[in-house]
Amino acid sequence: MEQERYDLTGSLLRWYDYNKRILPWRENKDPYRIWVSEIMLQQTRVEAVKPYFDRFMEAFPEVQDLAEADDERLMKMWEGLGYYNRARNLKAAARKIVNEYDGKIPGDYDALLSLNGIGTYTAGAIGSIAFDLQVPAVDGNVMRVLSRLWGDDSDILKEKTKREMGKRIQAYIPKDRPGDFNQALIELGAIVCIPNGKPLCDRCPWDTVCRAYREDRIDQLPVKKPKKARRKEYKTVFLLETENRVALHKREEKGLLAGLWEFPNVSGRLDMEEIKSQLRQWGIESDDLEPAGKGKHIFSHVEWHMKGVKIRLKEAVLSEQFQWIDKKDLENTYALPSAFEIFRKVL
């Protein structure tokens, strides 16, 4: 076991030293920067995160700044990253850190787990990278690598599989470089044992010990139970505008895209007569209507299929259903989910 541990750990760390990517959150071991980056990287590609991370750190350079952030500004800084509850949890956790930990991110694994939005993977990543805790950080990338390394055909979507892989890999985490080991595993899954496509086995430091490679089972692992098909929802999106203003609607505080702004919309693919009928319900009479394109947005469990209609008005019509804002504020102040980006461009 000792020799196997030395070979696996040593070869992985040597590979990482020569192949790791230069990323802004790797510049130092600041736990705040590591925490923010790990939350942003959930469900989001590294290249997409980079510019958001830089802007976010400029806007909220310290935990205290995040704890005191205005909600609208926070959402605007997160606009386009999706999964907006991540940002809300960041602020809630920051407030807890300020109130209970004197503004300092705790270096204890259980304390990290107690913070909003932090699960076992994120606690392991922050704990090992920032505080040198000898704890695993097992995400989807890591489970893909380990299932192939060990020839493990357990369903990686099950929490039990994640726990068992974490326990097993913990024996290989070195005391002197736990953070580098976890980052190396994640990096291996990101750039060699890649998520979509053929893995680059000829570049892998574990090619001689990987069971899936030796047994020609790469295409069979990892095992994932098929997900349920996403349901489809159809929407008609209303772009109500005057010369300088546009109407927005604020979503409910719970559920999908909770508390975010959107263009007014209703369920279904409305024809022109149904569109005019809906406008009349809002107290709007206008014949200056034109199609405003179509859009599709995929969430984890649902697909939105949208058609837009643009309605020009001489003046804003008051309604409890929406709020009129200056168009420039749509760019600078109000966070609009990326689902509506195609319609924003029409304005």
Q: Any idea which residues carry the catalytic annotation?
A: 38
Residue whose token pair is 């980052």: 183
The type of residue at 338 is S
Checking 35-40 for CB contacts under 8 A at 24+ apart, the result is 35/90, 35/105, 35/118, 35/122, 35/126, 35/130, 36/90, 38/122, 38/125, 38/126, 39/86, 39/89, 39/90, 39/117, 39/122, 40/81, 40/86
Instruction: Specify the 3-state DSSP secondary structure of 112.
Output: helix
Smallest Cα–Cα separation from 140: which of 43, 20, 241?
Answer: 43
Q: Which element (helix H / strand E) includes 218? A: none
Tallying the residues shown for the chain, one arrives at 347
Report CA-CA distances (Å) from 117 to 53, 86, 94. Answer: 17, 7, 11
Helix (H) or strand (E) holding 250: strand 245-250
- What's the first-to-final CA gap in the chain, in angstroms? 64
Calculate the CA dihedral of residues 262, 266, 272, 276 and round it to 10 degrees. Answer: -90
Sign of the dihedral through C-alpha 24, 27, 33, 38: positive
Fill in the DSSP letter of residue 15.
H
